[in-house]
């Protein structure tokens, strides 16, 4: 703007407001607002919020009656009408939970509101929680559903506790993440321990033999120690064929490539480098789809996975095998399970409900460690297909 005005000669004059007639009239002739408060606007807003809530008139009347009986909300309503104390310590301890949201609390016809949400009385909270979780949605979905129109202090924590102790939700939870692979022990000398594997590539079968000490491997129309080296060999062959090069040159370059910045497979195996071309860099692969599982203690209440369902049990002992525990079911059966198939739970073992169905057991020597002997004189019944039918142990005192 200044550059454009440089071609002109101009002067700036000041005119008082009294000489600028149109703006002066508009600034002095404004309409005064005689209203002293905005209570009417607030009442209209609250009416709109109440009418838009998905709550029937009968349930709204019940909330109003229970709010009237609630000791805490009675004090809150009093403070809403008369004003809150300036100091938090002047508020009774039992309503300290409302202090942080006191500016959002209002009252309408005996019902306490927090913004656009109804504050549920203590006597109706369990019922509201059951209705909230009757579809057995997840924690986050329940929290989003609850924050639409209802509120009470600690509602998010109560949702967490309810879903964490729901038997149906625990039984149908997703499988746990797999744990990281247990690394193999490195032998002291080359070719002390080797691994072999077979794979199919480009219409041919290959064998691979890998030395555990040096990670040096040989391929003869076959391949690998672990799946990792199968993938390495396939990649080398694919690239060599695509470039119309000798695949054994690619293998030579791999053997001369240092592993983890220490030494190459050829140096670890033969204490010398092989004559070859320039080595290629090896991209390290990091497994990200695994998670180290937690440890369990004897007597801890858990759930174990059986046919995609999580069933209750108790840890009885830690097995000699790594990541294995011995568990006992409410029926008295004892199994060995990996930590991947065991989930920690806060349930009380004595309160876990048992099915009234007859227990059907298929013989499985790998998983079933031991079964308690029945005190009944009757022998187990075996069906034609080989299924052994035993009455549950919990009914042993009632079965003749």
3-state secondary structure 258-321: CECCCECHHHHHHCCCCCCCCCCCCCCCCCCCCCCCCCCCCCCEEEEEECCEEEEEEEEEECCC
Q: What is the pLDDT along the chain (400 residues), one digit of tens a residue?
A: 677 777 888 888 888 777 777 766 666 666 666 555 566 776 777 677 666 666 777 888 888 888 888 888 888 888 888 888 888 888 888 888 888 888 888 887 888 888 878 888 888 888 888 888 888 888 888 888 887 778 888 888 888 888 888 888 888 888 888 888 888 888 999 999 999 988 888 877 788 899 999 999 998 875 445 566 778 888 888 988 888 888 888 888 888 788 777 778 887 887 777 777 654 333 333 334 466 778 889 989 999 998 888 999 999 999 888 889 999 998 889 999 999 899 988 877 665 554 433 344 444 444 444 444 444 445 666 776 667 777 776 666 655 5
Angle at 286 between CA 285 and CA 292, to 5 degrees: 150
Residues in Cβ contact with 222 at an 8 Å cutoff, skipping those fewer than 6 apart: 198, 199, 205, 206, 207, 208
Run of H or E residues at 58:
helix 57-69
Give the integer Cα–Cα distance in Å for 126 and 70.
15
**Cα dist from 104 to 76, 110, 117, 151, whole Å:** 12, 16, 10, 12
Q: How is residue 280 written in tokens?
A: 């290629």
Query: pTM of the prediction?
Result: 0.42
Give the integer Cα–Cα distance in Å for 130 and 243.
66
Give the integer Cα–Cα distance in Å for 144 and 327.
37
Burial of 57 (0-12, 13-18, 19+ CB in 10 A): exposed
> Tokens 């525990």 map to which residue?
325
Q: How is residue 326 written in tokens?
A: 């011995």
């Amino acid at each position: 703007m200044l550059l454009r005005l440089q071609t002109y000669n101009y002067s700036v004059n000041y005119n008082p407001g009294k000489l600028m007639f149109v703006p002066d009239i508009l600034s002095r002739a404004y309409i005064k607002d005689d209203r002293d408060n905005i209570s009417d606007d607030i009442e209209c807003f609250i009416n709109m919020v109440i009418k838009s809530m998905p709550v029937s008139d009968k349930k709204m009347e019940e909330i109003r009656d229970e709010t009237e009986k609630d000791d805490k909300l009675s004090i809150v309503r009093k403070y809403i009408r008369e004003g809150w104390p300036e100091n938090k310590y002047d508020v009774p301890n039992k309503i300290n939970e409302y202090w942080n949201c006191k500016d959002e609390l209002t009252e309408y016809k005996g019902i306490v509101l927090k913004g656009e949400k109804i504050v549920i009385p203590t006597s109706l909270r369990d019922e509201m929680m059951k209705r909230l979780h009757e579809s057995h949605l997840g924690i986050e979905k329940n929290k989003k559903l609850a924050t639409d129109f209802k509120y009470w202090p600690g509602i998010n924590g109560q949702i967490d506790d309810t879903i964490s102790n729901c038997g149906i939700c625990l039984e149908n939870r997703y499988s746990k993440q797999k744990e990281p692979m247990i690394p193999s022990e490195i032998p002291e000398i080359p070719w002390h321990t080797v691994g072999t594997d077979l794979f199919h590539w480009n219409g041919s079968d290959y064998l691979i033999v890998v030395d555990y000490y040096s990670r040096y491997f040989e391929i003869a129309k076959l391949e690998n120690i672990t799946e990792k080296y199968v993938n390495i060999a396939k990649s080398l062959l694919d690239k060599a064929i695509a470039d119309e090069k000798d695949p054994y040159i690619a293998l030579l370059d791999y053997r001369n490539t240092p592993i983890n910045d220490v030494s190459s497979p050829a140096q670890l195996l033969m204490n010398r480098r092989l004559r070859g071309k320039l080595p290629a860099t090896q991209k390290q692969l990091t497994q990200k789809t695994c998670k180290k599982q937690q440890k369990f203690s004897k007597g801890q209440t858990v759930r174990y996975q059986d046919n995609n369902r999580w069933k209750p049990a108790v840890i009885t002992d830690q097995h000699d095998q790594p990541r294995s525990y011995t568990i006992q079911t409410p029926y008295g059966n004892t199994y060995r399970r990996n930590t991947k198939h065991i989930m920690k739970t806060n349930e009380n073992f004595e309160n876990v409900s048992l099915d009234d169905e007859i227990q059907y057991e298929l013989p499985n020597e790998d998983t079933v460690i031991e079964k308690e002997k029945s005190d009944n004189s009757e022998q187990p019944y075996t069906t034609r297909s080989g299924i052994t039918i035993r009455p549950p142990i919990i009914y042993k005192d009632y079965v003749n």
